[in-house]
């Protein structure tokens, strides 16, 4: 039985008085799907309960970090123990070194790690480091890939092969945007032309190895290897943004899954076990340019705070146990195949992209390989799908262009319930 959204609506009405749009991150506002944001009261395992008492099977997982599910007992216990010690010291702790050591052990391309507080801070710092190390200014990012809200990353494409960026947000000076070049994802020919024209001025290429902010789009065969070869040729750095994919698509992230070795890696989400965290990491030679060893400055009062580091250590310790990623794959495959069958039975031609425990249902019948093909999705149909699934107790990201995340806490029964809900909703919106 669904209890409606009366209390959520009341809380939202109050929130908009004090918080811009009533939310602290734009996609939470439900603008692209309509309706009132659901206010969450509690999470447990794979379930969420809202303030009206409705329960949902959760495929957002706090946008990716909760690969173990909500309130995993071992993570909770570790955090309780940490609270007996303290929450922040602004001084070194043994815990920081332990988490850094675990990251170095997991990623062959990483010798050193600097902990920060968010994915945005990680990518911003990695790009500053790349510029300081190479003594070049230009960076290349891919259309549809999101790397946080630093000024030089809130950029949209221009036109032509050399797509110099223009700001997508007021407050971003054109003088900053002109140093960002936008390339189409999965298109090496375009990138080669960019490097042919200005390669000597490019400090770094930054890429989501599996794009997770325009739905889920895997790299085309040879794309990441081509990036590696091209950046090496022009002595630019390759930054792989694993804020979303790190420790999710494999224990060592997408760079291990696809056998590509970046110069710098950015991490977040899972390495904090649900608490605010980020990291940038890479080769010793490059990381040694960071202050206090080198001249590239970056600092943070709460960086490496004991709570986030403790949750991250507990999470990684559980993820490195045998069979974990096989279990995630089995669950995720079960969901994907069930959704495919349900859509086919309803006569809907949809596109499903999945890499490990990341999945997206695109409301288009065409293959989705980049931003332009993702943008052809029928967002109105998705909005109907989202609303129908929410009514049936399934919580999806409120945007066509976000990933669904599987956790180890999802049971086969919950996955089957999700498939049955989708079967009914697909028929309703056909």
Tell me phi and psi for residue 267, to 5 degrees. -135, 160
Q: What is the mean pLDDT of residues 150-178?
A: 69
Residues 141, 168: Cα–Cα separation, whole Å: 14
Pairing of strands 237-242, 264-268: parallel
Tell me phi and psi for residue 160, to 5 degrees. 85, 180
Q: Which spans in 263-352 are helix H?
A: 284-287, 306-319, 324-346
Contact 50, 8 (CB under 8 A): yes
- pLDDT of 151 reads 78
Flag whether pLDDT at 163 surpasses 50.
Answer: no
Kindly report, as residue ranges, where domains of CATH 3.90.1150.10 are found in the chain. 6-71+325-429
Which of 55-69, 70-84, 170-184 shows the lowest per-residue confidence on average (mean pLDDT)? 170-184
Tell me phi and psi for residue 142, to 5 degrees. -110, 140
- pLDDT of 169 reads 79
> What is the tens place of the pLDDT at every residue in 390-408?
999 999 999 999 999 999 9
Flag whether pLDDT at 162 surpasses 90.
Answer: no
Yes or no: domain 73-319 corresponds to CATH 3.30.870.10? no
- pLDDT of 165 reads 57
Pairing of strands 202-207, 138-142: parallel
> What is the tens place of the pLDDT at every residue in 14-44?
999 999 999 999 889 998 899 899 999 999 9
Question: What is the percent of the chain with per-residue pLDDT over 90, rounded to a whole number?
Answer: 89
Residues 56, 41: Cα–Cα separation, whole Å: 12
Is the Cα dihedral 188, 194, 195, 197 positive or negative? positive
Nearest to 62 by CA among 270, 234, 323, 266: 270
Catalytic residue numbers, as ranges: 146, 241, 269
Q: What is the mean pLDDT of residues 176-182?
A: 87
Q: What is the mean pLDDT of residues 269-273?
A: 97
Kindly report, as residue ranges, where domains of CATH 3.40.640.10 are found in the chain. 73-319
> What is the tens place of the pLDDT at every residue in 112-125?
999 999 999 999 99
Name the CATH topology of 6-71+325-429: 3.90.1150
Nearest to 39 by CA among 80, 81, 66, 4: 4
Residues 10, 19: Cα–Cα separation, whole Å: 14
> For all residues of the chain together, what is the average pLDDT?
94
Residues 205, 202: Cα–Cα separation, whole Å: 8
> What is the tens place of the pLDDT at every residue in 291-343?
999 999 999 999 999 999 999 999 999 999 999 999 999 999 999 999 999 99
Instruction: Concatenate the DSSP letters of all residues of 217-233 into one string.
Output: BPPPTTHHHHHHHHHHH
Flag whether pLDDT at 158 surpasses 90.
Answer: no
- pLDDT of 160 reads 42
The residues, any chain, with a CB within 8 Å of residue 290's CB and separated by 6 or more, are: 114, 129, 296, 298
């Amino acid at each position: 039985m669904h209890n409606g959204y009366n209390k959520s609506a009341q809380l939202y009405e109050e929130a908009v008085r004090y918080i811009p749009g009533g939310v602290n991150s734009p996609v939470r506002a439900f603008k692209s799907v309509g309706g009132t944001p659901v206010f969450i009261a509690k999470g447990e395992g794979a379930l969420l309960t809202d303030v009206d008492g409705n329960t949902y099977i959760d495929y957002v997982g706090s946008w990716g970090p909760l690969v173990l599910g909500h309130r995993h007992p071992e993570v909770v216990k570790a955090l309780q123990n940490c609270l007996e010690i303290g929450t922040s010291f602004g001084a070194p702790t043994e815990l920081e070194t332990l988490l850094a050591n675990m990251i170095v052990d997991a990623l062959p391309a990483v010798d050193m790690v600097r902990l920060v507080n968010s994915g945005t801070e990680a990518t911003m710092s990695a790009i500053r480091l790349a510029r300081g190390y190479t003594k070049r200014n230009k960076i290349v990012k891919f259309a549809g890939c999101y790397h946080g809200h630093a000024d030089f990353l809130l950029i949209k494409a221009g036109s032509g092969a050399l797509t110099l960026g223009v700001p997508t947000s007021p407050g971003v000076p054109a003088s900053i945007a002109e140093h960002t070049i936008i390339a189409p994802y999965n298109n090496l020919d375009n990138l080669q032309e960019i490097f042919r024209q200005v390669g000597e001025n490019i400090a770094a290429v930054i890429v989501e190895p599996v794009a997770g902010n325009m739905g889920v789009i895997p790299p085309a065969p040879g794309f990441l290897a081509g990036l590696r070869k091209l950046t090496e040729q022009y002595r630019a750095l390759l930054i792989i943004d694993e804020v979303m994919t790190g420790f999710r698509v494999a224990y060592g992230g997408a760079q291990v899954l696809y056998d590509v070795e970046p110069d710098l890696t950015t991490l977040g989400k899972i390495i904090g076990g649900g608490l605010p965290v980020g990291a940038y990491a890479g080769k010793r030679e490059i990381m040694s340019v960071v202050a206090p060893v080198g001249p590239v400055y970056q600092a943070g009062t709460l960086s490496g705070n004991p709570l986030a580091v403790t949750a991250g250590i507990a999470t990684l310790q559980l993820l490195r146990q045998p069979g974990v990623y096989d279990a995630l794959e089995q669950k995720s495959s079960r969901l994907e195949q069930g959704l495919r069958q349900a859509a086919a039975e309803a006569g809907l031609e949809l596109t499903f992209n999945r890499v490990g425990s990341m999945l997206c249902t695109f409301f288009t019948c065409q293959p989705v390989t980049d931003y332009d093909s993702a943008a052809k999705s029928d967002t109105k149909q998705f909005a109907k799908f989202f609303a129908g699934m929410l009514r049936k107790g399934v919580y999806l990201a409120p945007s066509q262009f976000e990933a669904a995340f599987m956790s180890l806490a999802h049971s086969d029964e919950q996955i089957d319930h999700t498939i049955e809900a989708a079967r009914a909703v697909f028929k309703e919106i056909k």
